Protein backbone atom coordinates (compact mmCIF):
# COMPACT_ATOMS: atom_id res chain seq x y z
CA UNK A 1 0.00 0.00 0.00
CA UNK A 2 2.07 2.87 -1.34
CA UNK A 3 -0.22 5.55 0.13
CA UNK A 4 0.49 4.45 3.72
CA UNK A 5 3.62 6.09 5.12
CA UNK A 6 5.00 6.98 8.56
CA UNK A 7 4.19 10.48 9.77
CA UNK A 8 7.11 12.30 11.42
CA UNK A 9 5.11 14.62 13.67
CA UNK A 10 3.85 12.88 16.79
CA UNK A 11 4.67 12.18 20.42
CA UNK A 12 3.79 9.27 22.69
CA UNK A 13 1.46 10.29 25.53
CA UNK A 14 0.01 7.88 28.08
CA UNK A 15 0.13 4.87 25.77
CA UNK A 16 -1.31 6.79 22.81
CA UNK A 17 0.20 8.82 19.99
CA UNK A 18 -0.54 12.54 19.89
CA UNK A 19 -0.65 13.82 16.32
CA UNK A 20 1.24 17.10 15.92
CA UNK A 21 0.09 18.06 12.43
CA UNK A 22 -2.98 20.10 13.39
CA UNK A 23 -4.13 21.84 16.52
CA UNK A 24 -6.72 19.20 17.34
CA UNK A 25 -3.70 17.24 18.58
CA UNK A 26 -5.66 14.01 18.56
CA UNK A 27 -4.51 11.43 21.10
CA UNK A 28 -5.02 8.22 19.20
CA UNK A 29 -5.11 4.75 20.80
CA UNK A 30 -3.35 1.89 19.06
CA UNK A 31 -5.36 0.69 16.07
CA UNK A 32 -7.52 3.82 15.93
CA UNK A 33 -7.80 6.86 13.64
CA UNK A 34 -7.60 10.57 14.35
CA UNK A 35 -10.48 13.00 13.76
CA UNK A 36 -9.45 13.56 10.15
CA UNK A 37 -9.59 9.84 9.24
CA UNK A 38 -6.26 10.26 7.46
CA UNK A 39 -3.78 9.43 10.24
CA UNK A 40 -3.81 6.38 12.48
CA UNK A 41 -1.88 4.73 15.28
CA UNK A 42 -0.23 1.43 14.47
CA UNK A 43 2.02 -0.07 17.10
CA UNK A 44 2.33 3.35 18.78
CA UNK A 45 3.60 5.04 15.63
CA UNK A 46 1.67 7.59 13.58
CA UNK A 47 0.94 6.83 9.93
CA UNK A 48 -0.80 8.62 7.09
CA UNK A 49 -3.10 6.77 4.69
CA UNK A 50 -3.19 9.53 2.04
CA UNK A 51 0.41 9.77 0.83
CA UNK A 52 0.20 10.42 -2.92
CA UNK A 53 -3.49 9.46 -3.02
CA UNK A 54 -4.65 12.40 -5.12
CA UNK A 55 -8.37 13.03 -5.54
CA UNK A 56 -7.86 15.78 -8.13
CA UNK A 57 -5.05 17.21 -10.27
CA UNK A 58 -5.76 20.27 -12.40
CA UNK A 59 -3.89 23.23 -13.85
CA UNK A 60 -5.64 26.43 -12.65
CA UNK A 61 -5.00 30.19 -12.57
CA UNK A 62 -3.49 31.25 -9.26
CA UNK A 63 -6.16 33.96 -8.98
CA UNK A 64 -8.82 31.26 -8.46
CA UNK A 65 -7.39 30.39 -5.01
CA UNK A 66 -7.56 33.43 -4.64
CA UNK A 67 -3.98 34.69 -4.59
CA UNK A 68 -3.89 38.21 -6.03
CA UNK A 69 -0.38 39.30 -5.00
CA UNK A 70 1.40 35.98 -5.58
CA UNK A 71 2.65 35.16 -9.05
CA UNK A 72 -0.22 37.04 -10.75
CA UNK A 73 -1.24 35.72 -14.13
CA UNK A 74 0.42 32.33 -13.59
CA UNK A 75 -1.10 28.86 -13.45
CA UNK A 76 -0.41 26.28 -10.76
CA UNK A 77 -0.84 22.54 -10.85
CA UNK A 78 -3.48 22.17 -8.15
CA UNK A 79 -3.95 18.88 -6.34
CA UNK A 80 -5.79 17.41 -3.36
CA UNK A 81 -6.56 14.25 -1.45
CA UNK A 82 -9.50 13.28 0.80
CA UNK A 83 -11.00 14.31 4.15
CA UNK A 84 -10.50 17.33 6.42
CA UNK A 85 -9.88 18.29 10.04
CA UNK A 86 -12.90 20.64 9.96
CA UNK A 87 -16.53 19.90 9.11
CA UNK A 88 -17.85 23.22 7.79
CA UNK A 89 -21.61 22.91 7.15
CA UNK A 90 -21.29 25.01 3.96
CA UNK A 91 -18.26 23.22 2.45
CA UNK A 92 -18.25 23.60 -1.33
CA UNK A 93 -15.94 20.61 -1.81
CA UNK A 94 -17.69 18.22 0.57
CA UNK A 95 -17.44 15.41 -2.00
CA UNK A 96 -13.70 15.47 -1.22
CA UNK A 97 -13.58 16.74 2.36
CA UNK A 98 -16.11 14.23 3.72
CA UNK A 99 -14.67 11.22 1.88
CA UNK A 100 -12.07 9.03 3.58
CA UNK A 101 -8.91 7.66 2.00
CA UNK A 102 -8.96 3.99 1.11
CA UNK A 103 -5.44 2.61 0.72
CA UNK A 104 -6.74 -0.64 -0.76
CA UNK A 105 -8.35 1.18 -3.70
CA UNK A 106 -6.18 4.29 -3.89
CA UNK A 107 -4.49 5.65 -6.96
CA UNK A 108 -0.91 6.79 -6.39
CA UNK A 109 1.10 9.64 -7.86
CA UNK A 110 4.75 9.79 -6.88
CA UNK A 111 6.30 13.15 -5.92
CA UNK A 112 8.50 13.09 -9.01
CA UNK A 113 5.57 12.30 -11.32
CA UNK A 114 3.58 15.21 -9.92
CA UNK A 115 6.43 17.68 -10.37
CA UNK A 116 7.05 16.38 -13.89
CA UNK A 117 3.37 17.00 -14.71
CA UNK A 118 3.62 20.62 -13.59
CA UNK A 119 6.76 21.27 -15.61
CA UNK A 120 5.36 19.57 -18.71
CA UNK A 121 2.10 21.56 -18.57
CA UNK A 122 3.94 24.87 -18.22
CA UNK A 123 2.68 25.64 -14.73
CA UNK A 124 4.83 27.98 -12.64
CA UNK A 125 4.03 26.30 -9.36
CA UNK A 126 2.14 23.80 -7.25
CA UNK A 127 -0.91 24.52 -5.10
CA UNK A 128 -2.45 22.15 -2.57
CA UNK A 129 -6.14 23.00 -2.46
CA UNK A 130 -9.74 21.71 -2.89
CA UNK A 131 -9.57 20.01 0.52
CA UNK A 132 -7.44 20.90 3.56
CA UNK A 133 -3.82 20.54 2.37
CA UNK A 134 -2.43 19.32 5.70
CA UNK A 135 -4.12 16.03 4.82
CA UNK A 136 -1.11 15.74 2.46
CA UNK A 137 1.44 17.04 4.96
CA UNK A 138 3.82 14.07 4.68
CA UNK A 139 3.56 13.99 0.88
CA UNK A 140 4.31 17.71 0.61
CA UNK A 141 7.47 17.30 2.67
CA UNK A 142 8.77 15.19 -0.23
CA UNK A 143 7.10 17.03 -3.13
CA UNK A 144 8.11 20.59 -2.30
CA UNK A 145 11.93 20.17 -2.36
CA UNK A 146 11.64 18.51 -5.78
CA UNK A 147 9.37 21.29 -7.02
CA UNK A 148 11.65 24.06 -5.80
CA UNK A 149 14.64 22.36 -7.44
CA UNK A 150 12.74 22.64 -10.74
CA UNK A 151 11.98 26.34 -10.21
CA UNK A 152 8.36 25.96 -9.11
CA UNK A 153 6.62 27.87 -6.34
CA UNK A 154 4.69 25.92 -3.68
CA UNK A 155 1.56 27.15 -1.93
CA UNK A 156 -1.28 26.03 0.33
CA UNK A 157 -4.96 26.99 0.48
CA UNK A 158 -5.65 26.12 4.11
CA UNK A 159 -7.95 26.59 7.07
CA UNK A 160 -4.83 27.58 9.01
CA UNK A 161 -5.36 25.07 11.84
CA UNK A 162 -1.94 23.45 11.42
CA UNK A 163 0.52 23.49 14.30
CA UNK A 164 3.45 25.89 14.27
CA UNK A 165 5.84 22.93 14.00
CA UNK A 166 3.99 21.61 10.94
CA UNK A 167 4.17 25.05 9.33
CA UNK A 168 7.89 25.28 10.06
CA UNK A 169 8.53 21.88 8.49
CA UNK A 170 6.53 22.79 5.40
CA UNK A 171 8.36 26.10 5.03
CA UNK A 172 11.71 24.31 5.35
CA UNK A 173 10.58 21.88 2.63
CA UNK A 174 9.74 24.74 0.25
CA UNK A 175 6.28 26.13 1.04
CA UNK A 176 6.42 29.85 0.22
CA UNK A 177 2.77 30.87 -0.19
CA UNK A 178 -0.13 30.45 2.25
CA UNK A 179 -3.75 31.44 1.82
CA UNK A 180 -5.69 31.12 5.05
CA UNK A 181 -9.48 30.81 5.13
CA UNK A 182 -10.88 32.60 8.17
CA UNK A 183 -14.28 31.29 9.30
CA UNK A 184 -15.24 34.26 11.48
CA UNK A 185 -14.92 35.11 15.16
CA UNK A 186 -14.53 32.69 18.07
CA UNK A 187 -18.28 32.08 18.26
CA UNK A 188 -18.28 30.82 14.67
CA UNK A 189 -15.37 28.45 15.34
CA UNK A 190 -17.02 27.01 18.44
CA UNK A 191 -20.60 26.79 17.17
CA UNK A 192 -20.12 25.75 13.55
CA UNK A 193 -16.61 24.28 13.30
CA UNK A 194 -16.51 22.60 16.70
CA UNK A 195 -13.11 23.82 17.88
CA UNK A 196 -12.55 25.95 20.98
CA UNK A 197 -9.88 28.60 20.67
CA UNK A 198 -9.82 28.10 16.92
CA UNK A 199 -9.90 31.80 16.10
CA UNK A 200 -6.67 32.62 17.94
CA UNK A 201 -4.90 29.47 16.73
CA UNK A 202 -5.66 30.24 13.09
CA UNK A 203 -4.55 33.86 13.42
CA UNK A 204 -1.38 32.59 15.10
CA UNK A 205 -0.68 30.59 11.94
CA UNK A 206 -1.11 33.76 9.89
CA UNK A 207 1.30 35.63 12.16
CA UNK A 208 3.87 32.83 12.18
CA UNK A 209 3.74 32.49 8.39
CA UNK A 210 4.39 36.21 8.04
CA UNK A 211 7.27 35.99 10.49
CA UNK A 212 8.80 33.12 8.50
CA UNK A 213 8.71 35.21 5.33
CA UNK A 214 5.95 33.31 3.51
CA UNK A 215 3.63 35.18 1.19
CA UNK A 216 0.29 35.30 3.01
CA UNK A 217 -3.22 36.21 1.89
CA UNK A 218 -6.40 35.90 3.95
CA UNK A 219 -9.90 34.96 2.79
CA UNK A 220 -13.04 35.53 4.82
CA UNK A 221 -16.10 33.74 3.42
CA UNK A 222 -18.97 35.80 4.82
CA UNK A 223 -21.83 33.37 5.45
CA UNK A 224 -25.39 34.65 5.56
CA UNK A 225 -26.77 34.33 9.09
CA UNK A 226 -23.45 33.16 10.53
CA UNK A 227 -20.67 35.69 10.02
CA UNK A 228 -22.40 38.57 8.21
CA UNK A 229 -23.03 40.88 11.17
CA UNK A 230 -20.87 43.97 11.52
CA UNK A 231 -19.43 42.91 14.87
CA UNK A 232 -18.05 39.69 13.38
CA UNK A 233 -16.74 41.48 10.30
CA UNK A 234 -15.12 44.16 12.45
CA UNK A 235 -13.47 41.50 14.62
CA UNK A 236 -11.97 39.79 11.57
CA UNK A 237 -10.65 43.11 10.23
CA UNK A 238 -9.11 44.00 13.59
CA UNK A 239 -7.46 40.57 13.86
CA UNK A 240 -6.20 40.89 10.30
CA UNK A 241 -4.53 44.22 11.02
CA UNK A 242 -3.03 42.84 14.24
CA UNK A 243 -1.72 39.50 12.99
CA UNK A 244 -1.31 39.93 9.22
CA UNK A 245 -0.71 43.67 8.88
CA UNK A 246 -2.25 46.33 6.64
CA UNK A 247 -0.19 45.30 3.59
CA UNK A 248 -1.54 41.72 3.59
CA UNK A 249 -4.45 41.19 1.17
CA UNK A 250 -7.80 40.11 2.59
CA UNK A 251 -10.59 38.79 0.35
CA UNK A 252 -14.22 39.11 1.42
CA UNK A 253 -16.03 36.39 -0.49
CA UNK A 254 -19.70 35.75 -0.96
CA UNK A 255 -21.24 32.55 0.40
CA UNK A 256 -23.60 30.41 -1.71
CA UNK A 257 -25.64 27.47 -0.35
CA UNK A 258 -23.70 24.19 -0.28
CA UNK A 259 -23.51 20.86 1.53
CA UNK A 260 -25.72 20.96 4.67
CA UNK A 261 -26.28 24.73 4.71
CA UNK A 262 -29.33 26.15 2.95
CA UNK A 263 -29.27 29.82 3.96
CA UNK A 264 -29.66 32.13 0.93
CA UNK A 265 -26.53 33.69 -0.61
CA UNK A 266 -24.95 36.51 1.34
CA UNK A 267 -26.24 39.92 0.30
CA UNK A 268 -23.86 41.80 -2.00
CA UNK A 269 -24.42 44.87 0.18
CA UNK A 270 -22.84 43.00 3.11
CA UNK A 271 -19.73 42.18 1.07
CA UNK A 272 -19.50 45.80 -0.09
CA UNK A 273 -19.81 46.98 3.50
CA UNK A 274 -17.01 44.65 4.65
CA UNK A 275 -14.78 45.94 1.84
CA UNK A 276 -15.46 49.55 2.86
CA UNK A 277 -14.95 48.81 6.55
CA UNK A 278 -11.56 47.25 5.80
CA UNK A 279 -10.41 50.23 3.76
CA UNK A 280 -11.57 52.66 6.44
CA UNK A 281 -9.74 50.64 9.11
CA UNK A 282 -6.45 50.83 7.20
CA UNK A 283 -6.28 47.61 5.18
CA UNK A 284 -4.37 48.54 2.03
CA UNK A 285 -5.45 45.68 -0.22
CA UNK A 286 -9.02 44.50 0.46
CA UNK A 287 -10.76 42.45 -2.24
CA UNK A 288 -14.20 41.12 -3.09
CA UNK A 289 -14.78 37.52 -4.22
CA UNK A 290 -17.53 35.35 -5.72
CA UNK A 291 -19.22 38.38 -7.32
CA UNK A 292 -18.23 38.31 -11.03
CA UNK A 293 -17.38 41.68 -12.54
CA UNK A 294 -17.15 43.48 -9.20
CA UNK A 295 -14.57 46.33 -9.16
CA UNK A 296 -13.29 44.88 -5.89
CA UNK A 297 -11.47 42.22 -7.95
CA UNK A 298 -8.88 44.81 -9.02
CA UNK A 299 -5.72 45.90 -7.22
CA UNK A 300 -5.62 49.63 -6.53
CA UNK A 301 -2.57 51.66 -5.59
CA UNK A 302 -3.08 52.72 -1.95
CA UNK A 303 -1.35 56.05 -2.66
CA UNK A 304 -2.94 57.39 -5.86
CA UNK A 305 -6.00 55.11 -6.09
CA UNK A 306 -5.42 54.03 -9.69
CA UNK A 307 -5.98 50.37 -10.65
CA UNK A 308 -2.63 48.66 -11.16
CA UNK A 309 -3.89 45.10 -11.82
CA UNK A 310 -7.27 44.50 -13.46
CA UNK A 311 -8.93 41.09 -13.34
CA UNK A 312 -11.98 39.44 -14.84
CA UNK A 313 -13.25 36.01 -13.82
CA UNK A 314 -9.98 35.28 -12.03
CA UNK A 315 -7.81 36.19 -14.98
CA UNK A 316 -5.48 39.20 -15.29
CA UNK A 317 -6.13 41.41 -18.31
CA UNK A 318 -4.26 44.63 -17.52
CA UNK A 319 -1.16 45.39 -15.45
CA UNK A 320 0.07 48.90 -14.71
CA UNK A 321 3.18 48.04 -12.73
CA UNK A 322 6.84 48.66 -13.44
CA UNK A 323 9.25 45.73 -13.69
CA UNK A 324 10.06 46.15 -10.00
CA UNK A 325 6.35 46.15 -9.04
CA UNK A 326 5.82 49.86 -8.52
CA UNK A 327 2.67 51.75 -9.45
CA UNK A 328 3.15 53.05 -12.99
CA UNK A 329 1.34 56.27 -12.05
CA UNK A 330 3.02 57.34 -8.79
CA UNK A 331 5.84 54.81 -8.30
CA UNK A 332 4.49 53.49 -4.97
CA UNK A 333 5.85 49.95 -4.34
CA UNK A 334 3.09 47.29 -4.48
CA UNK A 335 3.85 44.09 -2.49
CA UNK A 336 3.85 41.39 -5.16
CA UNK A 337 5.58 38.02 -4.95
CA UNK A 338 6.70 36.72 -8.33
Alpha carbon separation from 139 to 50, 135, 197, 200, 254 (Å, rounded): 8, 9, 28, 27, 32
Indicate if the pLDDT at residue 314 is higher than 90: no
- Determine the pLDDT at residue 313: 82
Is the pTM higher than 0.85? The answer reads yes
What mean pLDDT is reported for the chain? 98
What is the mean pLDDT of the segment spanning 139-148?
99
At residue 327, the pLDDT reads: 98
Average pLDDT over residues 264-274: 99
pLDDT computed for residue 18 by the predictor: 99
Q: Give me the domains of the chain, ranges plus CATH numbers.
A: 5-48 (no CATH), 56-296 (3.20.20.70), 298-338 (no CATH)
Percent of residues, the chain, with pLDDT higher than 70: 100
Residue 93 has pLDDT above 90, yes or no: yes
pLDDT above 90 coverage of the chain, percent: 98
For residues 320, 321, 326, 331, the Cα torsion angle rounded to the nearest 10 degrees is: -40
Q: How far apart (Å, rounded) are the C-alpha atoms in residues 180 and 226?
A: 19
102: which DSSP letter?
Answer: -
- The arithmetic mean of pLDDT across residues 66-74, rounded, is 97
pLDDT-based confidence at residue 294 (cuts at 50, 70, 90) = very high
Angstrom CA distances, 287 to 50, 123, 170, stand at 34, 25, 27
Longest Cα separation, the chain: 64
Check: CB of residue 328 under 8 Å from CB of residue 322: yes
d(Cα 180, Cα 88) in Å, to the nearest integer? 15
Amino acid sequence: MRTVKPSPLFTEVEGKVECGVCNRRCRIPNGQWGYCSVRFNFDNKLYTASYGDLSAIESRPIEVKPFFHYWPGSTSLTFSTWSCNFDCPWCQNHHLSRAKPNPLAASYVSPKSLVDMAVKSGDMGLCVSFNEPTMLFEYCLDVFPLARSRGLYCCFVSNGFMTTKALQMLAQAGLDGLKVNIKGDEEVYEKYIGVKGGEELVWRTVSEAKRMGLHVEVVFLIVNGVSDDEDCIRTVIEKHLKYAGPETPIHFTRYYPAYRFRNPPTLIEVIDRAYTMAKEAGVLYPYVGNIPGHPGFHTYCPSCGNPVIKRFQYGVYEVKLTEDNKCMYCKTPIPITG
